[in-house]
Amino acid sequence: MEKKPPAGKLKESALTPTWEIAYLYPYQGAWSEADYMALRPNRHVEYTDGYVEVLPMPTYTHQRIVRFLLRALEAFVFSRQLGEVMFAPLRVQIRPEKYREPDIVFMRAEHSDRLGNEFWIGADLVMEVVSDDDESRMRDFERKRRDYAEGRIPEYWIVDPATERITVLVLEGAAYRTHGEFGRGEQATSATLPGFAVDVAAVFDAARR
């Protein structure tokens, strides 16, 4: 049942959505790259060929998993001075007119010229923690798999709390192949960062602590 505000608390005009705000922005399909770059939202917003996509707000458990993975990757990368690790929201250019915002993104030190203040040009490894809805699952397992391969990103981790599995994909030619699918009792290992691994149980247990 739709909730109604207490009588007399709000004027009728205050109950009407501010549709005028929408008129300040282009129609879907008509967004330019400059329009997208000018956005400063407090949500993840991705962009492809004139269309913008607003992603779901991350949950607390989602962010706990992201934090665990971020700390593990940072510790490995920074101790070896391998490059830069960052987390969303951060725009990653797949190609002109296509941007994604991975949950976690790594760039090697030798590619530091691709680290822009507004966006990074590609990446060397990205991670996505899958949100608990059908659209997010399709986005991370299918669309982003194609997009990150198009962007020539060497490695893509799909971290799925629903199944408690981590899928590590490595770029081979123009598409990804599966390096490994890891569950509880196993270590998820990187294909392109030799020595980097995380305990799968610890990753998903981080959401419950």
The CATH number of the domain where 144 resides is what? 3.90.1570.10
Q: Say how far apart CA 54 and CA 74 lie, in whole Å.
A: 27
The DSSP bridge partners found for residue 182 are: 166
pLDDT (tens digit per residue) in 70-120: 999 999 999 999 999 999 989 999 999 999 999 999 999 999 999 999 999
Residue 170 falls within a domain, yes or no?
yes
Which domain range does residue 71 map to? 60-205
Contact assessment for residue 10 and residue 34, using Cβ atoms and an 8 Å cutoff? no
Number of domains comprising the chain:
1
pLDDT (tens digit per residue) in 119-169: 999 999 999 999 988 989 999 999 999 999 999 999 999 999 999 999 999
Residue 52 falls within a domain, yes or no?
no
pLDDT grade for 21, boundaries at 50, 70 and 90: low
Average pLDDT, stretch 59-67? 96
Residue 34 falls within a domain, yes or no?
no
Give the model's pLDDT for residue 3. Answer: 47
Cis previous bond, 154, omega within 30: no
**C-alpha torsion angle, residues 132, 137, 140, 145 (rounded to 10):** 160
Residue 16 falls within a domain, yes or no?
no
Residue 6 falls within a domain, yes or no?
no
Model pTM score: 0.80
Q: What is the percent of the chain where pLDDT is above 90?
A: 69
Residue 46 falls within a domain, yes or no?
no
What stretches of the chain adopt beta strand conformation (E)?
45-48, 51-54, 83-87, 92-95, 98-100, 104-108, 120-121, 125-129, 155-160, 165-172, 175-182, 187-189, 197-199
Q: Say how far apart CA 75 and CA 136 lie, in whole Å.
A: 28
Residue 43 falls within a domain, yes or no?
no
Of 209, 206, 208, whose CA–CA distance to 66 is shortest? 206
